[in-house]
Amino acid sequence: MKCARRLVHGVAIAGGVLGRLLAAMAEPQPEAPPAVTSPIEPCAEPSSLELWGTVGPSIVFGEPANPQYTQSFQRVGLLGEVGVAYRSSYFVDPFLSVSYATLASGESRLPNGPWGTGGTMDQHLGAWVIAPGITSDIWRFRLRFGLGLAIVVQKFDFQGQERSSNQFPLANQLGLGFNALAWERFRLDAETRLIWAPGAEVSFVTLALVARGDLLQFGTR
């Protein structure tokens, strides 16, 4: 009889322990806190030595020298430019550029006068511009400011003789460009620019394409 009681008592204890284990297993377990991951930083753009070329039409302001004798006058020309810049990690990037613009051409019919027998005179106006300056990128827009030297060349062809005169005034330029394409090391901008040389009374605007490419890259930008 004692053995039977002990057996029943042991079975009851074992059943209680098993019931507690099953209840504990049925309770929901607290979820582990999510792992904290550090944000992925975008890759920094490297600084670079940049080369570029510019080409586009130019429109010169002003009137011909002798409008009363002018037979034809063309104020639309063409500008070409090459330049080098350092694209740094600062807000502005320095550059140096050399450009040449065929600004205007015309034909005048001169009567007989103090210069001798009259005839047809062909005229041409062009300008070299050597300009250091800075650019600044704001989103896809690029601001440009330059201050340098202009070489204004006037050529005259009269009665089979060609003459020319040069002026060397300071030249200013302001530009606003928009980056239309950026692919790896290559960029393509559309830019409008105003260039004026007060000492020679020459001013013109351009609307040009600017192709830029990184020649060398340095570290991170």
Interval 196-202 mean pLDDT: 93
Interval 170-188 mean pLDDT: 95
Q: Render pLDDT for 52-89 as a digit per residue (tens, 0 to 9).
A: 999 999 999 987 766 766 777 889 999 999 999 999 87
Say what the pLDDT of residue 116 is. 66
Per-residue confidence band for 106, with pLDDT thresholds at 50, 70 and 90 = confident
Residue with tokens 């300009």: 131
Task: Please state, in angstroms and as integers, the Cα–Cα distance from residue 63 to each residue in 3, 34, 66, 79, 197, following that order.
Answer: 130, 75, 8, 20, 15
DSSP structure class, residue 200 = G
Six token digits for residue 171: 């030249």
Q: Render pLDDT for 140-167 as a digit per residue (tens, 0 to 9).
A: 999 999 999 999 999 988 777 888 899 9
> Residue 124: beta bridge partners?
105, 155
Per-residue confidence band for 18, with pLDDT thresholds at 50, 70 and 90 = very low
Task: Please state, in angstroms and as integers, the Cα–Cα distance from residue 4 to each residue in 17, 181, 205, following that order.
Answer: 20, 93, 114
Burial 15-34 (b: 16+ CB within 10 A, else e): eeeeeeeeeeeeeeeeeeee
Cβ of 103: how many Cβ atoms within 10 Å?
27
Backbone angles phi, psi at 49, to 5 degrees: -95, 115
Q: Does the 47-218 domain belong in CATH 3.50.50.60? A: no
Question: How much of the chain exceeds pLDDT 90, in percent?
Answer: 52
Pair 175, 191: CB distance under 8 Å: yes
Residues 64 and 66: their CA atoms lie apart, in Å, by: 6
